[in-house]
Amino acid sequence: MKKINVLLVVLLTLSLSVYGQHEEKNHEQHESDGHFRVSVAIAHTFLPEETAEGTQNLILPTFALDIEYWMNHNWGIGLHNDLELLNFEVEDAHHNVFIEREFPVLLTLDALWKPNKNLVLFAGPGIELESNKNYFVFRAGAEYEIPFSNNWDVCPLVFYDIRDGAYNTLTIGLGIGYTFGNKKRPH
């Protein structure tokens, strides 16, 4: 059921892109085509965990490093890398066994879309790497870039990760980004 809900959100997001194509681009004409953006973030990842008392949330501290290439002011591609800074145990749905996770690293290759000047929506496949077992991941999320200097921004972010045959997580965080190249942000 959760996968169907996430799929519906992704399809709704994609359908909004058709509507957003006729939005005025005047405020974006000052930006150059093709630029890189790098950001670091600290976040909390919420992991629902089944216990004898019911579902509880385990909160994992997370560090993120994102590297993005923007082909133009609306479309880009990003390598989003996260490190969950805690050991924990999860149930593997395919085998009905518990697997210990030791500082898993998530790598996703996301399509990036800016429907307006500051909002970035992203989604894409990836992998969670860990010494006990690796999982295929699909990520969908959003961040809001708030410029505070020429090429610097602060960005609150939220994303949802679906792991194939395992657990799903929600991550909320705050990052700081730097845009390389000729792109100058208005104050």
- Second-level CATH architecture of 30-179: Beta Barrel (2.40)
Overall average pLDDT of the 93-114 stretch: 86
pLDDT-based confidence at 32, cuts 50/70/90?
low
> To which residue do tokens 């150059």 refer?
32
* pLDDT of 92: 66
pLDDT digit string (tens) for 110-157?
Answer: 999 999 999 999 999 999 999 888 999 999 999 999 999 889 999 999
Average pLDDT taken over every residue of the chain: 81
Query: Closest by alpha carbon to 130, among 101, 109, 107, 108?
Result: 101
Q: How far is CA 177 from CA 11, 25, 28, 38, 105, in A?
A: 28, 23, 19, 6, 21
pLDDT digit string (tens) for 50-76?
Answer: 654 557 788 999 999 999 999 998 999
Beta bridge partners of 122: 112, 141
pTM to 2 decimal places: 0.76
Q: Is the pLDDT of residue 4 over 50?
A: no
Instruction: Look at 66-80, 85-99, 105-119, 157-171 and tell me which has the smallest mean pLDDT.
Output: 85-99
What are the extents of the domains in the chain? 30-179
